[in-house]
Chain A
Amino acid sequence: MTLKNTTRRGVLKGGALAGAGLALPQILTAGSHSGYTNAPQGANVTLGFNVPQSGPYADEGADELRAYELAVEHLNGGGDGGMMNTFKVSGGSSMLKGNGILGKKVAYVTGDTQTKSDAARASAKSMIEKDGAIMITGGSSSGVAIAVQGLCQEAGVIFMAGLTHSNDTTGKDKKANGFRHFFNGYMSGAALAPVLEKMYGADRTAYHLTADYTWGWTQQESIQAATEAKGWKTANNVLTPLATTDFSSYVAPVLNSGADILVLNHYGGNMINSLTSAVQFGLRDKQVNGKNFEIVVPLYSRLMARGAGENVKGIFGSTNWHWSLQDEGSKAFVKSFGTKYGFPPSQAAHTVYCQTMLYANACETAGTFNPCGVVEAMEGLEFDGLGNGPTTYRAADHQCFKDVLVVKGKENPTSEFDVLEVVEVTPRAQVEYAPDHPMFAGGSLGACNPGA
């Protein structure tokens, strides 16, 4: 066979056919989703950052907002690029080039969730309907995240959850348009229980104080199950109203309960106040059943650990990310954030920065802002370089799976930011679970909704 029949026209025809063939999957997926809510017109695309700017989690909201602004700056080609330079997806670099998203400059609007579900839904609705936000992201409460995720599903926009730790967010309340990068209560239990057994032994009796809403319930259930599997007993679980400020009347009964461990399923201001009460009542100096009384805070954040001051020293917990990690992604993010703002980022800042990058990458991969295209690009995505090691966005429930950090309050901090130390990086395999695990059962992702 010779090449004498090969003509210029034939090569062009063949090339065109091959190109069309290669592009077919993309055409059948992303391109087929034509009409969708808030399709960007003009040179800009608008993202909606819905964070608590008032209320008990306002400090975390402020840190989230800083991280969002940094992410937007990096996406638009400003600054040092941060984790955009270290972000890799399976098969190579991310699709992000610092020229916005799909060539459109990234703009943003902000809303105040007030850490109230109704206020958060109202501000998200306003950003979608009035400001034309194509994606909503943020939040520092699971109650808020679940409420806004539901709204985004109905409205046909993507929701990239911020700090939400309840199993329900990607469990019974999961939605096709919603994605969570942050870890959850089950993962905290799976990571913490072996460390707690190693430190305190298997013959322990725990008393739980639990914030009375979705996050508290699911975290308590997870920690109880994980510690009982290691041999611990559970003396009691007392639900405390979210608005409680003085926990003394809840802490006092612990003294004579026979328990030798107090688990505080509290977050933010609740945790600071309950831990303060527990320390005031001398629990940490107490001996019960011949053992030292211990306190555990399953979900830690640096911001609240700093608020709790001296009281956190030596107390174990888990966290999604910590600024002291030495991988390239974490170092790049800390440098970028620290240079801009003068202090290291919190885990809330980290997760929302990652979510913004992941969304932008998914749009680039899909070649569209259409939520259904984005969902397809995100489902099953394997990535690395964002500070948590190799990570997967599981298609079955839109939950990220990655390593979890077990931390404890540092005994001798060198600065006001140096309040937690990483005790163990729990490998991802240890915190994974089946999508139909009983703690996550009861809901369905449903189909993606592109909206209008």
Chain B
Amino acid sequence: MDALLLQILNGLDKGSAYALIALGLTLIFGTLGVVNFAHGALFMIGAFCSVTLNKILNLSSTTIDETQKDFLGNPLKVKTPYVESWFGEVAGQSIIEWSVPLAIIFAIPIMLAIGVIMERGLIKHFYKRPHADQILVTFGLAIVLQEVVKAFFGANPIQTPAPDALSGVLDLGGAIGLQLSYPVWRITYFFFSVIVIGGVFAFLQFTTFGMVVRAGMQDRETVGLLGINIDRRFTIMFGVAAAVAGLAGVMYTPINPPNYHWGMDFLVLSFVVVVVGGMGSLPGAVLAGFLLGILESFASTTWATTTIPGINQIIIYLVAIIILLVRPRGLMGREGVMEE
């Protein structure tokens, strides 16, 4: 029972990341009709926003300590972060420690700007081109972005820890007699993703802007004929989708130290999530994200891998095949999307 609940929790936090990435991906597809293979790279760039802010907060002044030696036997250069000099040691260390949550504020404008520049600067030129062209150009862009990140940050994963207050494990089962404890940050991530997903849905459902976007997703031409500049709104939605992927990346950094290859690692899975959920369906992407996260988690248990060796590597694709055979438009797919 403990193990079962543990894997469900594990699936939920994995599913949170899949759902957030897939949400942005399907949002772009639903609005602009573009298959964006650079979306995983946006998740990766979000993560590196967190790394960058951590590095900025760690910018230091250097003093020479004659009493200590470096590895070459020269006097040791001691670094003191500027934030510690400005705000005092305790406050400065707290700011650095909370760099990941602070990176949310840092990443939102950056990711919005990257999204808008990407859409206006490159992707808009491919709207009338075949999907294959869109895939090629966005895939190429993803490779360029990951190589740029590698050139600046190296190839190894970079530790970006959570604040102490949100580290450690939470005893969830003590009260009901179960041995069930779970990392605090992973629980935080799950609730964070629920808030972001809820925020996106609320934005689309309860604002005039959102209503126009939804109308544009249904019938772009008619909305345009009403004199509404739907292209500008869709560009903004591209930025929003980039920001959602970026925030997913920011908050994921304490779970897994980010590296330049993250985008590619999550891209294929996210596409499977979108296809299983139904192309262009926002609730479908969220549902499929959590569903596949939980399935993947169960498939990695010792029992599953002993019973069917390798099941952990194929489960998502296996389930995708079954769902697409039974429901060709995915779990919540709409008629007419990619069926022209």
Q: Which A residues have a C-beta under 8 Å from some C-beta of B?
A: 54-59, 62, 236, 238-239, 241, 243, 245-246, 248-250, 252-253, 255-256, 268-269, 272-273, 276-277, 280-282, 285, 303-304, 306-311, 323-324, 334-335, 338-339, 343-344, 414-415, 417-418
How far does the alpha carbon of A256 sit from the alpha carbon of B183 in the complex, in Å?
15
B39: chain A residues within 8 A (beta carbon): none
Q: Is the CB of B183 within 8 A of A281?
A: yes
A56: chain B residues within 8 A (beta carbon): 155, 259, 261
How far does the alpha carbon of A323 sit from the alpha carbon of B70 in the complex, in Å?
12
Assuming A276-B257, A334-B72, what are 9 further A-B pairs, CB within 8 angstroms? A59-B154, A238-B305, A245-B256, A269-B259, A273-B256, A323-B71, A334-B71, A335-B72, A414-B68
* CB closest chain-B residue, reference A246: B256
How far does the alpha carbon of A91 sit from the alpha carbon of B265 in the complex, in Å?
54
Q: Is the CB of B155 within 8 A of A59?
A: yes
How far does the alpha carbon of A277 sit from the alpha carbon of B265 in the complex, in Å?
17
| In the complex, B232 has a CB within 8 A of chain A | no
A281: chain B residues within 8 A (beta carbon): 169, 181-183
| A248-B186, A269-B156, A414-B76 known; A256-B3 Cβ under 8 A | yes
Tell me the minimal C-beta distance from B6 to chain A in angstroms: 5
Q: Is the CB of B71 within 8 A of A282?
A: no
| In the complex, B229 has a CB within 8 A of chain A | no
| A249-B7, A282-B181, A285-B168 known; A309-B71 Cβ under 8 A | no
Tell me the minimal C-beta distance from A212 to chain B in angstroms: 9
| A236-B302, A273-B257, A307-B158 known; A252-B7 Cβ under 8 A | yes
| A252-B7, A253-B301, A307-B257 known; A273-B71 Cβ under 8 A | no
| A269-B259, A334-B71 known; A252-B10 Cβ under 8 A | yes
Cross-chain contact of A310 among B6, B70, B159, B259 (Cβ < 8 A): B159
A282: chain B residues within 8 A (beta carbon): 168-169, 181, 183
B161: chain A residues within 8 A (beta carbon): 309-310
Tell me the minimal C-beta distance from B4 to chain A in angstroms: 11
Q: Is the CB of A338 within 8 A of B71?
A: yes
B312: chain A residues within 8 A (beta carbon): 241, 249
| In the complex, B219 has a CB within 8 A of chain A | no
From B6, B156, B185, B261, name the one whose CB has the most chain A CB atoms within 10 angstroms. Answer: B156
How far does the alpha carbon of A309 sit from the alpha carbon of B259 in the complex, in Å?
14
In this complex, how many residues of chain B approach chain A with their Cβ under 8 Å: the count is 46
* CB closest chain-A residue, reference B252: A246
* CB closest chain-B residue, reference A344: B71
| A414-B68, A417-B71 known; A248-B14 Cβ under 8 A | yes
| In the complex, B157 has a CB within 8 A of chain A | yes
How far does the alpha carbon of A306 sit from the alpha carbon of B257 in the complex, in Å?
12
Q: Is the CB of A246 within 8 A of B14?
A: yes
How far does the alpha carbon of A48 sit from the alpha carbon of B157 in the complex, in Å?
28
| A252-B6, A255-B6 known; A304-B183 Cβ under 8 A | no
| In the complex, B313 has a CB within 8 A of chain A | yes
- Chain B, residues 185-200, CB within 8 Å of chain A (1/0): the string is 1100000000000000
Q: Is the CB of A248 within 8 A of B179?
A: no
B313: chain A residues within 8 A (beta carbon): 241
For window 295-321 of B, CB contacts with A under 8 Å fall at 296-297, 300-302, 305, 312-313
A324: chain B residues within 8 A (beta carbon): 71
Q: Is the CB of B76 within 8 A of A272?
A: no
Q: Is the CB of A58 within 8 A of B255?
A: no
Q: Is the CB of A245 within 8 A of B262?
A: yes
How far does the alpha carbon of A334 sit from the alpha carbon of B72 in the complex, in Å?
7
Cross-chain contact of A55 among B155, B157, B262 (Cβ < 8 A): B155
Q: Is the CB of B6 within 8 A of A273?
A: no
B13: chain A residues within 8 A (beta carbon): 248
The 9 closest A-B pairs by CB, nearest first: A58-B155, A309-B159, A249-B300, A282-B169, A280-B183, A307-B156, A249-B297, A272-B157, A59-B156
Q: Is the CB of B14 within 8 A of A307?
A: no
| In the complex, B120 has a CB within 8 A of chain A | no
* CB closest chain-A residue, reference B309: A239
For window 167-183 of B, CB contacts with A under 8 Å fall at 167-169, 179, 181-183
A415: chain B residues within 8 A (beta carbon): 70-71, 76
Tell me the minimal C-beta distance from B13 to chain A in angstroms: 8
12 contacts between A and B (CB under 8 A): A56-B261, A58-B154, A62-B154, A238-B302, A249-B296, A256-B6, A272-B156, A273-B257, A280-B169, A282-B169, A306-B156, A415-B70
A256: chain B residues within 8 A (beta carbon): 2-3, 6, 179
B300: chain A residues within 8 A (beta carbon): 249-250
How far does the alpha carbon of A304 sit from the alpha carbon of B156 in the complex, in Å?
7
- Chain B, residues 248-292, CB within 8 Å of chain A (1/0): the string is 000000111101011001000000000000000000000000000
How far does the alpha carbon of A281 sit from the alpha carbon of B169 in the complex, in Å?
6
| In the complex, B150 has a CB within 8 A of chain A | yes
How far does the alpha carbon of A414 sit from the alpha carbon of B77 in the complex, in Å?
10
B181: chain A residues within 8 A (beta carbon): 255, 281-282
From B14, B167, B259, name the one whose CB has the most chain A CB atoms within 10 angstroms. Answer: B259
- Chain B, residues 113-145, CB within 8 Å of chain A (1/0): the string is 000000000000000000000000000000000
How far does the alpha carbon of A353 sit from the alpha carbon of B156 in the complex, in Å?
22
B179: chain A residues within 8 A (beta carbon): 255-256
* CB closest chain-B residue, reference A250: B300
B76: chain A residues within 8 A (beta carbon): 414-415
How far does the alpha carbon of A335 sit from the alpha carbon of B157 in the complex, in Å?
28
